[in-house]
Amino acid sequence: MTSQAIPVPAFPKTTMATLLALYMAQGLPSGLFAHALPVFWREAGIGLAWIGALKLLALPWILKALWAPVIDRSLWNVAPIRWVFGLQSLAAVCLIGLGIVGITPQGPWLPLTVAAILLINLLMATQDIITDGLAVRHVSAIWRGLANTLQVAGYKIGMLAGGAFLLILASHVDTQIALLLPAGLLIVLLTLVYRAPILRTPHRLSTPADEPQPRIIDGFIGLIRQPGMLFWLGIVACYKVGDAMGSGMVRPMLTDGGWTAEAIGNFTLATTVVGLLGAAIGGWLYTQLGGRRSLIWAGIAQAVTISGWALVAVKGTGTALVYGVGITEQLADGASTVVLFAMMMNLCRQQWAGTDFTVQASIQVIFAGIFGLLGGLIAQAYSYEILLGLAGSAGLAVVFVFALQGPKTVPR
């Protein structure tokens, strides 16, 4: 008898395109809040500690694990498009509302501004549960590296449109009008994915008809029961500590260094495009080296390049130096994010795919918010260079702790 080779699954073009569009949609508001809003607030005279605390407005991304099991279980009987249509269209309406009331924290509209930001984050965080679950369920292992590259690339493209392009546009038109850009793109992307097959099929159709409804409690505790999970969740929490502490202060540092909003927008545009290449490098690195080694090398690169911003703080915000450091840092950021997400995806259970990925992602976001706030406080109390040096050192320390552990501590 001759053994037969296992056939390679066909490349899922439609599935990949749908996931790319969904991740782009989720990146649009994030680009606004992470890249554009800090510049608008700094120009309005807001303190660095408050800008650092902007990450705390991403509270729904932190708490989404609390309702992820409910969303996962609902998809047994409800087609994902019903969720996606409601979430994405309402987010577009909220962005239009922000254009009406204003986005800087001044005047009587401040409570509505904050509420709108929180609501948009709630909507997109909920959609992210659905999208991550679709990626785990509908992409076979052989294509998973590419899927995570598209995840990071799509999200960065969305952030590019909602952040850099918005900053550039806001230099030529009123900010309220500029906010129509991410709102309009959300509607366009929703139109493109509306009839996608993976959004039209409830998850139950791929399981036995007589299988009982899963228990919500299994969604919450099943992931932690896996061997080595507590150590791994600690790595997830701290792996990007350098990026979380330092990246939020880069644009305020450029603003203080005399850069205009348009110049910062052009810089963000260029470095984000480079980040897409970094994401591709991360997918290749993961395929070539495996999860453990690629996580170590990408983490070292991220920590070292974050430390490079300390040189900018000391030498000054010259264009050549800023672009040099920014390009290398974004290459490392894209690569390290893809590798981390690929490792996270490998630990997800099929039945609770959205929940398991969400739990890990929520932990990462929680600590990113804490580290971001800490970074703002350090920068305000001491200096940019001290903050950025500490951020890079902390990132290296986490990588070394992971590297010192045996290869069997964490699943590949």
Q: What is the 3-state secondary structure (H, E, C) of 153-213?
A: HHHHHHHHHHHHHHHHHHCCCCHHHHCHHHHHHHHHHHHHHCCCHHHCCCHHHHCCCCCCC
How does pLDDT run across 89-129, given as a tens digit for each residue?
A: 999 998 888 877 766 656 556 677 778 888 999 999 999 99
Query: Does residue 18 belong to any structural domain of this protein?
Result: yes
**Confidence (pLDDT) at 214:** 65
**Confidence (pLDDT) at 136:** 83
Domain count for the chain: 1
Query: Does residue 121 belong to any structural domain of this protein?
Result: yes
CATH of the domain at 225: 1.20.1250.20
Q: Which residues span the domain enclosing 295?
A: 13-202+216-404
pTM: 0.76
Element (H, E) at 299: helix 261-315
**Confidence (pLDDT) at 100:** 76
**Confidence (pLDDT) at 366:** 83
What token pair was written down for 290?
A: 């495996």
Contact 286, 342 (CB under 8 A): yes
**Residue 365: which residues within 8 A CB-CB, separation 6 or more?**
58, 61, 62
Query: Does residue 43 belong to any structural domain of this protein?
Result: yes
* Burial zone of 266 (CB within 10 Å; 0-12 exposed, 13-18 middle, 19+ buried): middle
- Segments of the chain with pLDDT less than 50: 1-3
**Confidence (pLDDT) at 302:** 94
**Confidence (pLDDT) at 156:** 78
**Confidence (pLDDT) at 58:** 77
**Confidence (pLDDT) at 352:** 81
Q: Mapping DSSP to helix (H, G, I), strand (E, B) and coil, where does residue 28 land? A: helix
**Confidence (pLDDT) at 1:** 44
Closest of 275, 278, 261, 332 to residue 301, by C-alpha = 332
Query: Does residue 320 belong to any structural domain of this protein?
Result: yes
Task: Scan for tokens 């998973």, then name that residue.
Answer: 144
What token pair was written down for 101?
A: 């009331």
**Confidence (pLDDT) at 180:** 82
Rounded to an integer, what distance in angstroms lies between the CA atom of residue 4 and that of residue 6?
Answer: 6
Rounded to an integer, what distance in angstroms lies between the CA atom of residue 374 and that of residue 386?
Answer: 12
**Confidence (pLDDT) at 329:** 93
Query: Does residue 8 belong to any structural domain of this protein?
Result: no
DSSP string, 331-384: HHHHHHHHHHHHHHHHT--STTHHHHHHHHHHHHHHHHHHHHHHHHHHHHHS-H
Query: Does residue 235 belong to any structural domain of this protein?
Result: yes
Query: Does residue 35 belong to any structural domain of this protein?
Result: yes
Cα three-residue angle 370-45-112, rounded to 5 degrees: 70
Query: Does residue 286 belong to any structural domain of this protein?
Result: yes
